[in-house]
Amino acid sequence: MPWRLTAKQALAELTRGALSARDLVAASLARVEAHDGALRSFVTTCPERALAEAEASDARVRAGSARRPLEGLPFAVKDVTDTEGVRTTYGSLPFRDHVPARDELCVARLRAAGAILIGKTNTPEFGFGPRSFNRIQGSTANPHDLALSAGGSSGGSAAAVAAGLVPIAQGTDFGGSVRTPAAFCGVVGLRPTPGLIPSASKALAWNALSTHGVIARDADDAALALSVMAGFDRRDPLSRPGPVEFEGTVGDLRIGASPDLGAAPVSGEVRRRFQSALDDIAKCFARVEWASPDCAGGREAFAALRGAMVRRQFRALVAEHRAELTPQLLWNFDRGEALSADDLLAAEEARSRIHASFMGFFDHHDALVIPSASVMPFSNDQEEVLEIDGEALASRIDYLAITFLISLVGLPSISVPYWGDGALPFGLQIVAPPWREDLLLALARRLEREQGFAHRWPAGLARE
């Protein structure tokens, strides 16, 4: 069954001639056909184009051309990211028929490496919302329990990878949009240092809150996809020249651990699962201690910066199409309306102070481990996360604090699945200093191989 192969395994089978690109793409499309009616992980698929590209890939290999790094590998792209010639709706009714003229840079790099686009994965409107719901496709279900949410906002990508519809998928992460769905669906979700995966199309070129990311079933596949998407581009001022290396191993590390960063609301069940995960981490690493940077004021700072950015980006759309837009997008937009210049500078001041605290933390620790989500997967009918364990949240985005506090200071992080004694996955978030994706991936590999922090096939979807 080709759909069960990891990306690296599939590429090895292609190289030795046991599979063709057409075989692999056809298996992926068949898996979509069989299961996506229930999952709703895709908004748009492009089967004819994908099969044609697979046949062209097979033909160029037969003709003696060198294999590209991802030659013949199926992949998916979140429906907020532009794809040339393939409908890209952004999860928004005004864009229901929108077809971009060019690929976003990270997509162009994946395709240039030989990967074959299967389709566009589901997302809340412009990526704003706790579940991957929009008025075009509906809500993406969790492959481990179809009554539950796959999370937001890269939930379509996470569900598609978890269920074997594609081996790798692109996502985007502003406040936790790669890491939360990865946690809910039991896959690996990597948010890199802003600029590692460059963007040539950002209206706010110095925006370090949002970045492209990777979703895969294991750390090796995440590294493989990242190696193709990453690399310098002078159009992105955050992009970093120099070689990109994601291989390696780790020995003993100094690990700091916190269930909440001293500032994030987190459920009792998440705290229990986190403690269980720490017990298993301690079997690999002797130096694990409770420790956290000082994140006081971070929730308010992130909310102010996010509100200002959303208002600036969507002011024309809201003016023309407000009645067609979702409450989640409008709430974020309206938050930006009342902000002053002093509010923004105060947020930047708090951000600077928190960043300094993180850098001081990394003087004494190699990595930080925290939960990847504040709650466990919730009902797929639930529109918002407004309370945790009966306690009302101060803001409708505060359920994301455990991830957006990391976004706020521009650090790389990875979510890896942990099971313990539960039927649902729990996401462990590992945070490293800037540009240390190699450390994150090496640590994830070790936990995966030695302690079983790894993808499991969803019950009922493991066989055709």
The C-alpha atoms of residue 270 and residue 292 are separated, in whole angstroms, by 17
Instruction: Tokens for 309, please give them.
Output: 């950015």
The active-site residue out of 177, 227, 267, 407 is 177
The phi and psi torsions of 216 (rounded to 5 degrees) equal: -150, 175
Question: Which of the following is catalytic: 153, 210, 267, 415?
Answer: 153
- Residue in the structure block whose two tokens are 């040539």: 200
CA–CA distances in Å: residue 247 to residues 278, 436, 453: 24, 11, 18
272-412-170 Cα angle (round to 5): 95
Q: Parallel, antiparallel, or unpaired: how do β-strands 254-257 and 367-371 relate?
A: parallel
Is the CB of residue 142 less than 8 Å from the CB of residue 187?
no
Is-catalytic flag, 78? yes
Residues forming beta bridges with residue 149, ordered by sequence position: 141
How far is residue 124 CA from its own chain's centroid? 14
d(CA 149, CA 140): 7
> Does 292 qualify as catalytic in the annotation?
no
Sign (positive or negative) of CA dihedral 270, 273, 275, 278: negative
β-bridge partners, 212:
172
Active site residues: 78, 153, 177
